């Protein structure tokens, strides 16, 4: 790791690599918080590097336009030694792909909650005349506390911007790309809805709706559009949630949800009915814990206080001491009550 500091952010460790670069966990000293720093990878041809740099700047500008609880917030865009760095909110958790790998298909209530939040996030993107174009499980973060965050806008497209994609080049991940885009039509809000539908289907069933041994087989499967109904794969899956997901995967764009916002409202209604008295965030936090990805012994609380990697004096250790003191007081009171009930009177009388 060559870079040690980006602006006021001190690099701690590498946490991932993507199509556009390397992502680090860092500590922003001035504001006393953890952040993620995404670095644009070097070592490409000058023409390609310039194109990617422009996409990277576009990502920063696109992020800056949006304030949404289910979209990773951007803090800064820094250029250092001819390398671009995007400083964003740090999400203490893991991506949805790893959540699925840790336990397979998700319970229907969790599918509805996550889907509603992602659809609402996409709607916030679309109302600003932007497209995500790469919605998939590895671009969704679930925090240990149950937050849902859409991320990686590296190929987000401003509908009014100059086209950066070469003629015939398809942006995104093939398994999640809408059929009309695979056939060469421009991406649209409804192609983002398709990608979200593939993601939701995978969450509900544990497998993708369309597969192939190579790109050509996959393309053929998507074009054919033979979808196995969710309830055939998972008997007993709530019909209303299944219909909402399958409506995303209509082959003809005009037959899909008109907006991501309409999908969000439908899934919110489904989630409310399925959750009952449970709170959505607490339900997702419980799911993370069940799959070994959640908060353990207050570690996430400790990590969120002070400088990363340190145990603050008033962090989990202080809370543990306070809990022990209360437990001792409660035990003393209980013993006194038992003594009085048995006729011995109060010890201090």
- 80-133 residue pLDDT tens: 887 888 888 999 999 999 999 999 999 999 999 999 999 999 999 999 888 898
Over residues 235-264, the mean pLDDT reads 97
Which of 89, 121, 136 is the last residue before a domain boundary? Answer: 89
Distance CA 115, CA 245 (A): 9
**330: in domain:** no
Provide the domain limits for residue 29.
5-89
Express each pLDDT in 17-75 by its tens digit: 766 678 999 999 889 999 999 887 655 555 556 776 777 777 677 777 788 999 998 88
Exposed / middle / buried, residue 139 (Cβ in 10 Å: 0-12, 13-18, 19+): buried
Q: Do 123 and 33 share a structural domain?
A: no
Domain co-membership, 79 together with 45? yes
Regarding whether 116 and 85 lie in a shared domain, the answer is no
Tokens of 39: 């670095």
Residue 310 lies in a domain: no
Q: Is residue 134 part of a domain?
A: yes
Q: Count of alpha carbons within 13 Å of 341, Cβ hemisphere only?
A: 6
165 plus 100 within the same structural domain: yes
Q: What is the greatest pairwise CA distance in the chain?
A: 91
Q: Looking at the structure, tell me whether residues 189 and 164 fall in a common domain.
A: yes
Residue 328's pLDDT band (boundaries 50, 70, 90)?
low
Catalytic residue among 95, 120, 134, 152: 134
Q: Indicate the residue among 290, 305, 339 that finishes a domain.
A: 290
Considering the domain architecture, whether residues 108 and 65 belong to the same structural domain is answered as: no
Of 290-294, 304-308, 332-336, give the lowest mean pLDDT range: 304-308
Residue 206 lies in a domain: yes
CATH of residue 79's domain is: 3.30.200.20
What span, in angstroms and rounded, lies between the C-alpha atoms of 36 and 95?
14
pLDDT tens digits, 298-327: 443 433 333 333 333 333 444 444 455 555
Sign of CA dihedral 255, 170, 89, 97: positive
Q: Are residues 133 and 83 in the same domain?
A: no
- pLDDT for position 158: 45
99, 120 contact by CB (below 8 A): no
Same domain as 97, residue 221: yes
Q: Is residue 320 part of a domain?
A: no
Do 106 and 148 share a domain, yes or no?
yes
Last residue of a domain, one of 53, 68, 89: 89
Domain count, the chain: 2
Is residue 157 domain-resident?
yes
Which residue reads 């240990």 in tokens?
144
Residues recorded for the chain: 349
* Paired tokens of 186: 């421009």
Domain assignment present for residue 249? The answer is yes
Query: For residue 174, which phi and psi values (nearest 5 degrees)?
Result: -50, -40
Nearest to 273 by CA among 108, 69, 122: 108
162 domain residue, yes or no: yes
- Same-domain status, 71 and 148: no
- For the entire predicted model, the pTM comes to 0.77
Residues 52 and 128 in one domain: no
**CATH number, domain at 240?**
1.10.510.10
Confirm whether 123 is a catalytic residue.
no
Q: Do 274 and 135 share a structural domain? A: yes
């Amino acid at each position: 790791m060559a870079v040690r500091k980006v602006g006021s952010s001190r690099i701690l460790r590498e946490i991932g690599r993507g199509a556009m670069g390397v992502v680090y966990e860092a500590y922003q000293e001035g504001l006393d918080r953890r952040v993620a720093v995404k670095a644009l990878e070097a070592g490409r041809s000058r023409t390609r590097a310039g194109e990617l740099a422009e996409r990277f700047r576009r990502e920063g500008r696109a992020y800056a336009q949006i304030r949404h609880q289910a979209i990773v917030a951007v803090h800064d865009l820094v250029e250092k030694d001819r390398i671009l760095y995007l400083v964003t909110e740090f999400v203490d958790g893991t991506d949805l792909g790893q959540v699925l790998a840790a336990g397979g298909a998700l319970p229907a209530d969790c599918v509805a909650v996550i889907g509603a939040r992602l659809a609402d996030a996409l709607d916030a993107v679309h109302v600003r005349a932007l497209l995500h174009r790469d919605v998939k499980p590895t671009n969704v973060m679930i925090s240990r506390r149950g937050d849902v965050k859409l991320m990686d806008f590296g190929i987000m497209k401003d509908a009014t911007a100059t086209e950066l994609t070469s003629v015939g080049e398809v942006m995104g991940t093939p398994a999640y790309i809408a059929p009309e885009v695979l056939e060469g039509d421009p991406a649209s809000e409804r192609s983002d809805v398709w990608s979200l539908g593939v993601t939701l289907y995978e969450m509900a069933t544990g497998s993708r709706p369309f597969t192939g041994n190579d790109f050509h087989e996959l393309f053929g499967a998507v074009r054919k559009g033979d979808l196995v109904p969710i309830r055939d794969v998972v008997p007993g899956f709530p019909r209303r949630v299944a219909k909402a997901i399958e409506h995303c995967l209509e082959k003809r764009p005009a037959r899909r949800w008109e907006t991501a916002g309409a999908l969000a409202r439908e899934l919110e209604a489904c989630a409310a009915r399925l959750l009952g008295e449970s709170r959505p965030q607490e339900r997702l936090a419980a799911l993370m814990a069940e799959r070994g990805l959640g908060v353990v012994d207050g570690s996430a609380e400790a990590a969120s206080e002070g400088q990363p990697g340190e145990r603050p004096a008033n962090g989990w250790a202080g809370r543990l001491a306070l809990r022990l003191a209360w437990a001792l007081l409660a035990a003393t009171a209980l013993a006194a009550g038992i003594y009085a009930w048995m006729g011995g009177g109060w010890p201090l009388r």
